[in-house]
């Protein structure tokens, strides 16, 4: 049991160190030596968990999907907004998430399908928009698949721009602004005034 715990801790330590190296240098410039230097583990211990740099990157991309926590909200459009705002906040600090986003955005020799990150986010948002549609929250005539792609694509670019301008400090504000422009073309008029687009969501469910 103690051995297993130690194993889980090493695995996590490798992932977090690798994430910092990938986030700072990008996939191609990162080496397993850099990663080892940060973990203090032996090469043997590293290869016990991950046979290659690519295997580490695959695990990081999976972590991206696990980070997509779907908030429980009665109003499903609010759940979509909060999902993006919470993801924005986690991107400010979480090295694993930052690395997974950089892996998704840059063209490198890392050979996983580059669609993965977009599809993971898209699936979570599309499911919520379907529920929103069933609950009558969506304007008639809106193509929710198109809305999903627009939200995922816009988020991708807004976080890149925010990284360049403020190391993502202003990301939640940029995402909030995006929603204020997007919602009148997406939500029914009666719902519009009830949706929050800032991080300070009231404690009670909307």
Q: Which stretch binds its own copies (CB under 8 A): 3-11, 24-32, 39-47, 123-131?
A: 24-32
Q: Of residues 79-98, which lie at the interface with its own copies (CB under 8 A)?
A: none
Q: Of residues 46-65, which lie at the interface with its own copies (CB under 8 A)?
A: none
Query: Quick one: which of 149, 188, 199, 201 contacts its own copies (CB under 8 A)?
Result: 149
Q: How far is the CB of 166 from its own copies (least distance, A)?
A: 11
In this structure, which long-range contacts are made by residues 19-25, counting pairs with CB atoms below 8 Å and at least 24 apart in sequence?
19/60, 19/95, 19/96, 19/98, 19/99, 19/100, 20/95, 20/99, 22/57, 22/60, 22/99, 22/102, 22/103, 23/95, 23/98, 23/99, 23/102
31 binds its own copies (CB under 8 A): no
Q: Which stretch binds its own copies (CB under 8 A): 43-51, 80-88, 114-122, 128-136?
A: 114-122
Burial classification of residue 140, based on how many CB atoms lie within 10 Å of its CB (0-12 exposed, 13-18 middle, 19 or more buried): exposed
Query: Quick one: which of 1, 3, 5, 107 contacts its own copies (CB under 8 A)?
Result: 107
Bridge partners for 192 per DSSP: none
Q: Which stretch binds its own copies (CB under 8 A): 42-50, 112-120, 123-131, 193-201?
A: 112-120
d(CA 58, CA 90): 20
Q: How far is the CB of 47 from its own copies (least distance, A)?
A: 26
134 binds its own copies (CB under 8 A): no
Binding residues vs its own copies (CB under 8 A): 26, 28-29, 102, 105-108, 114-115, 118, 143, 146-147, 149-150, 152-162, 164-165, 174, 177-178, 180-186
């Amino acid at each position: 049991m103690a051995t297993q715990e130690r194993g889980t801790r090493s695995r996590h330590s490798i992932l977090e160190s690798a994430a910092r190296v990938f986030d700072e240098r990008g996939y191609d410039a990162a080496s397993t030596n850099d990663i080892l230097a940060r973990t203090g583990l032996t090469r043997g211990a590293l290869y016990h968990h991950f046979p290659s740099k690519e295997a580490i990157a695959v695990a990081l991309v999976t972590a991206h999907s696990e980070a997509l926590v779907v908030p429980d909200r009665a109003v499903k459009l609010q759940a979509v907004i909060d999902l993006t705002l919470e993801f924005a906040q986690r991107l400010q600090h979480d090295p694993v998430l930052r690395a997974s986003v950089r892996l998704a955005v840059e063209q490198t020799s890392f050979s996983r399908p580059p669609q993965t990150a977009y599809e993971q986010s898209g699936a979570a948002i599309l499911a919520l928009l379907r529920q929103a549609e069933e609950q009558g929250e969506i304007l008639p005539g809106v193509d929710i698949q198109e809305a999903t792609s627009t939200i995922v694509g816009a988020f991708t670019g807004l976080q890149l721009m925010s990284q360049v301008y403020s190391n993502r400090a202003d990301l939640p504000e940029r995402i909030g602004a995006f929603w204020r422009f997007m919602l009148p073309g997406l939500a029914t008029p009666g719902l519009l005034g009830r949706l929050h687009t800032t991080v300070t969501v009231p404690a009670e469910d909307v």
